[in-house]
Amino acid sequence: MSSSCHRDQFPSLRLLLLAMFALLSWGNEGFAQRDLKNIPVPDPAEELKSLEVADGFEINLFAADPLIHKPIQMNFDAQGRLWVAASEIYPQIEPGKVANDKILVLEDTNGDGQADKTTVFADGLLIPTAVIPGDGGSYVANSTELVHFKDTNGDGKADESRVILSGFGTEDTHHILHTFRWGFDGLLYMNQSIYIHSHIETPFGVRRLNAGGIWQYRPPTGQLEVFARGWVNTWGHHFDRYGQSFATDGAGGEGINFVVPGASYPTAANSPRILHGLNPGSPKHCGLEVVDGRHLPDDWQGDLITNDFRGHRVCRFKLTPEGTGYVSKPMPDLVRTNHVAFRPIDIKQGPDGAIYIADWYNPIIQHGEVDFRDPRRDHTHGRIWRVTAKGRPLVKTPALQSLSTAELVALLTAPEQFTRQQAKLVLRERPQSEVISTLEKHAASLSADDPLKNDWLLESLWVRVAHEAPDFKTCEVLLNSSDYRLRAATVRVLGHWQKDLNSESPVMVKLLQLAKDPHSQVRMEVVRTLSALGTADAARAVLNVAAEPMDEFLEYAVWLSANELAPVWHAAVLQGKWSPGDQATSPATSKSSIEPWLYGIKATKAVQLIPVLVQWLQAGKIPEAEIASTMEIIGSLGGPPQLSLVLNAAIDQTTQATQRSILLEALAGAKKSRDIQPAGNLEKIAPFVQSKELREQFVAVELAGLWKQAQLAGEIRQLASDRNRDVSLRVAAVQTLAKLGGAENQTLLEQLSKPSEKVANAPDVNEADGVRLAAIRGLMVSASEASSQAAALWLAEGPAPDVVSELLQTFLREKGGAVLLAKSLVTVKLSEDTAKLALRSVTGSGREEPQLQAALRESGHLGSGPKVWSTEELESILKKVSTEGNAARGEQVFRRAELACMKCHAIGGAGGAVGPDLVSIGASAQLDYLLDSMVTPNKQVKENYNTVILALADGRVQSGIVTRKSASEIVLRDANDVEVVVPVKEIEEQSAGTSLMPAGLADGLTQTELADLITFLSQLGKIGPYAPPSGKYAMRWEVLVPTDPAWTKLYRTSDTELLRQGQGLEWKTAYSQVDGALPLADLPAFRTRDRLAEKARQVMFLKTTATVTTAGEVVLSLNDSEGVEIWIDGESIPQGQIVRKSLGAGNHVIHLAIDLQKRTNEVQLELAAEKGAQAKWQIKP
């Protein structure tokens, strides 16, 4: 690495600050400050030495304190000056202090790559979180307001300010309005984050955005709209060369997000469906830049650069188009370091082609879980770093402000995005008539064979959007381009001019035709633009798209547009204007004309259209091939008369078994979700209770309970009692008996709630556990005391950890259930381990339940409560971390089943989602905070992980973390990492809960084990063996559990047939270590006890899934092929450490059989594309 150092301009200030830090370290005795001695010397030269830069690049200091302090966001202007929003007050102003945050303007006047002039453009601000120059001054996010500052006398300092918009939420200072970006269209894009609720008065009415999202603002008119919704803390947003939008999330874990206009993403308020990012399991990222230009190497053109501020890295991603969206591939870091205070939070490419990085500089992450008054919060320092490519000339950008309009127009095809964008922004502020006439002259001068002509035409359209001057002739030209990117970008431009579009105009006709464009990204843009038009023709075209194959992003866009246009096309159907087979008024497709309507009715949950759909069905307008799917929709949305039609279709002997099961499941869903059942005779399901098709039989048994078919109780009791039946069927039978009630059914449930024999050949598995658990739950309905007594007796037997958890959850979910179980525990004695596991379930539920906790402690002889750690003990553990801590041992502690760390926490997406992803926790949290969170988990709860407790009308209680909610339902993630959908209408009471991390979790660890665990956590995200996973290894596995059905199939068939069939098999999730290796110890395996050695086997079956997005040859590499057999999509693959195979696009299941007599070492599977091949793939955690 080569670098140059910034000259030391402030030695006296540096010494003063060092002295202040020394005083702080002596002045406070609280435990939360024990790690103050690890704060680095705040010297830019020392920090620079630690920075590792990508090959072929070098880094230098562009600016530091005292020229700047605490930079939050930065943007360049057309003159090459860098505007910086800086806040020393953040995160909260101290009482009595005066707000004096600043907007700074940095200049490199001599071109040596270092700022030598700083101007305070505006001061007296309160936590300004964004700044962008424009309209003769700068726009600033000043807490709840969008303010425009202007310098009217030319002295470089603002002397005029105007509040443009107010009413942005202020609930959380690191979520308030932020991340300003001028779009190519001349509109101002602004972000806000999850805890903010904004209600903005505009000339076009009140605009609201609850929680996170991206705003779109048109300064000339004052029009404000929501561009996209969601994310936790999206501090990055930018566009590629053709205007496609991308975002990053500073508190999410999905890397680069491809932004569909109007779409919702994780955490979006009141959104029934969301899209996800391109890099699941990725660390959190802040800031975003799309880089290009002559200064950077060819391989970097169009790459996305962002910051992992927790992991002290500046990251690079390469995008490859794939269908409607993209594949995002992590590349080697641009900058990385283990310097604890390097906090890159914004990034921009400058006029010279260099990459500029805003370094917040802080030894701790300044989020809410860190005390606002923690003395480690740095309020003074900050840097701007500058990265350049070695041996490549810098870009010389002309003084754009001084150029004529004609010269600016000519620069719209400049090689650098910086030049093109700044030229557009200067043109945006010039007189419209002058700009438009110049554009027309330049367009006329372009040669037909100019390779950049169409690119220039697109740029000219963006200039016209800023001036609100439509040019439909140019649009027509580009809509006929052979380049899908130009067609897609032009369609989005037309969305800005919707009020000027004539339904009979050639461009409108072409737009409707493009709903059938061969490229799905164009179709996506079309359906989003048509949605804004709100016409019948637009609705027809949108639904037409649904008749052809759709990928994730296109299908979401069609679903969204179909819902937005629902009033238009629903009215047309109800008025009889649209019907199947009428090609003049319904979508003309290559498939059945009913298919778009079926999709639309299902997508919009159009209950009011179900009678019309039934009329079409009865009139013979539904093609035979679509009758089954039509019935399924009727079943999911229809009322009692319509559901009778579905039931009749299901019991028809000509209906295929698979389709019958789907129809019956739709009927079961209607009862469970809407409490609606078919009218008329329901006894028709009786024959299917004895069906030979398991799926069909299962749902018939379920329906018998939902529909109260008591006459079937005798048959169902036989199924529940038959130990030769499939366990899932027996469980369904027990649940149905509980619903039916009655003395005989209760007697059987009481019998089934008692112990039963173990399964042969599988001593560690009790196949009847599921049945016994279902019986105990069933007794809660009619005999709650018997239920609690049975549960207490089972706990006294010392069952498996999973059973303990399920038993406790059974009673925690019922109103009064915890107290009931507590009373029954008085009569039994529990082992210490069982009592600890049970307590963990209680405290991990987010609820206190003191009576149950006391009963568990008493019956398990555990003492009075969680251990209270003394300051001396905590000091001793921290000392051990620095002197004896072993990260490798700590990872094994983290992976222990009894601690359940991986059940709740993922590392790079591999693990549970109950708690925060820990992929970069070591690079973001100080040691004392890590230890504190282990021993007192409720002291500080990470944002977005607060629990809620919902008391429901039927007596149940649900607790968990809210993952999403809408007007009709709340989705919780419970302590078992299971999503639970709760209808809002069923909620009687809602209250706040505690952390889902169980109290006392660390009590059973020795000080050495706890020190090792903290050491492991402290290394996560740092350079070295615990850096963020690369994404090339299989991290999530499923392990086949040796149940009785699995044993039977293994004995009767081959391994290949066992894995191909799959039905009735139970798989348990397992996760690889951070390095991608999966340890085999303690995982379920088949170990026979046959006396004949040739028949004896010790084998383990694993599976994982790889998603191939572009077909081609891929390479599977094993760390060791000894004792491993491989199947891909059920096909056996010749044994070898390296396997090459051509795979088509889609998901591919990879099975491994591990012969434990030949190997016991871990398995590491790497998937790569053959060098030079076109294949693209992902292994999602």
Q: What is the pLDDT of residues 507-552, one digit of tens each?
A: 999 999 999 999 999 999 999 999 999 988 899 999 999 988 999 9
Q: What pLDDT shows up at residue 19?
A: 34
CA gap 582, 587 in Å, rounded: 9
Helix, strand, coil percentages, rounded to 5, for the chain: 35, 25, 40
Smallest Cα–Cα separation from 867: which of 995, 1000, 986, 956?
1000
Q: Are strands 969-973 and 325-336 parallel, antiparallel or unpaired?
A: unpaired
The residue written with tokens 């339902």 in the block is: 969
Residue 630: the pLDDT is 87
Amino acid at 214: I
Give percent of the chain with pLDDT exceeding 70.
Answer: 90
> Is residue 13 over pLDDT 80?
no
3-state secondary structure 293-310: CCCCCHHHCCCEEEEECC
Q: 191 pairs with which residues across the strands?
A: 178, 214
Lowest mean pLDDT, pick from 18-32, 128-142, 226-240, 584-598: 18-32
Question: Which has more pLDDT, 945 or 251?
Answer: 251
Q: Which residue has the higher pLDDT, 390 or 577?
A: 390
The per-residue pLDDT for 38 is 67
Q: What is the mean pLDDT of residues 1090-1109?
A: 74
pLDDT in tens, 453-508: 999 999 999 999 999 999 999 999 999 999 999 999 999 999 999 989 887 889 99
Backbone φ and ψ for 581, nearest 5 degrees, come out as 90, -15
Whether residue 91 is preceded by a cis peptide bond, meaning omega within 30 degrees of 0, is yes
**Furthest-apart CA atoms within the chain: distance in Å:** 98
Pair 153, 137: CB distance under 8 Å: no
Contacts of 1016 by beta carbon, 8 Å cutoff, 6+ apart: 887, 888, 889, 890, 891, 893, 894, 1026
Q: Tell me, what's the pLDDT at 985?
A: 81
Quote the pTM value: 0.84
**Rounded Cα gap, residues 887 and 892, in angstroms:** 9
**pLDDT score for 1180:** 66
Both ends of the chain: CA-CA distance in Å? Answer: 34
Instruction: Tell me, letter by letter, the H, E, C secondary structure of 738-778.
Output: HHHCCHHHHHHHHHHCCCCCCCCCCCCCCCCHHHHHHHHHH
Domains and CATH numbers, the chain: 1-68+291-372+381-390 (no CATH), 681-782 (1.25.10), 1036-1178 (2.60.120)
Q: Angle at Cα 862 formed by Cα 858 and Cα 864, nearest 5°?
A: 75
Which amino acid type is present at position 758? K
555 versus 948: the higher-pLDDT residue is 555
**Residues 891, 1016 contacting (CB under 8 angstroms):** yes
Burial of 1091: CB neighbours in 10 Å, binned 0-12, 13-18, 19+? exposed
Q: Residue 300: pLDDT above 90?
A: yes
Which pLDDT belongs to residue 366? Answer: 58
Q: How far apart (Å, rounded) are the C-alpha atoms in residues 71 and 785?
A: 63
Q: What are phi and psi of 790, to 5 degrees?
A: -60, -40
* Residue whose pair of structure tokens reads 């269209």 in the numeric block: 185
Residue 1160 in tokens: 């016991």
Q: Residue 877 is encoded by which pair of tokens? A: 């553990």
Contact 567, 529 (CB under 8 A): no
Q: Tokens 């561009």 appear where? A: 227
Give pLDDT tens digits for 723-780.
888 888 999 999 999 999 999 999 999 999 988 644 333 333 345 688 999 999 999 8
pLDDT digits (tens, 9 = 90+) for 1144-1170: 888 899 999 999 988 889 999 988 766
- Which of 383-387, 870-874, 1149-1153 is most confident? 383-387
**Planar angle of CA 272, 176, 215, nearest 5 degrees:** 55
Q: Is the pLDDT of residue 1053 over 90?
A: no
Q: How many CB atoms lie within 10 A of CB 131?
A: 27
Contact 1077, 1164 (CB under 8 A): yes
Radius of gyration of the chain (CA): 32
pLDDT exceeds 70 at position 1141: yes
Q: What is the 8-class DSSP label of residue 394?
A: P
**Tens-digit pLDDT profile for residues 19-46:** 333 333 333 333 443 444 468 889 999 9
Strand locations in 890-934, DSSP E? Answer: 906-907, 910-911
Distances (CA, A) of 647 to 289, 608, 655: 56, 20, 11
| Cβ neighbours of 584 (radius 10 Å) | 6
The top-scoring range by mean pLDDT among 85-94, 518-527, 974-983 is: 518-527
* The token pair that represents 1007 in the structure block: 């000080």
**C-beta separation of 918 from 905 below 8 A:** yes
Residue 959: predicted pLDDT:
78
920 closest CA partner among 313, 396, 193: 313
- Mean pLDDT for the stretch of residues 286-310: 97
Please state, in angstroms and rounded to a whole number, the distance separating the CA atoms of residues 88 and 99.
Answer: 9
Q: Which two tokens stand for residue 552?
A: 């994730």
CA dist 565 and 260 (Å) reads 17
What pLDDT sits at residue 590?
A: 41
Question: If you write DSSP's letter for every residue of 128-143 in order, what string do you get?
Answer: EEEEEEETTEEEEEET
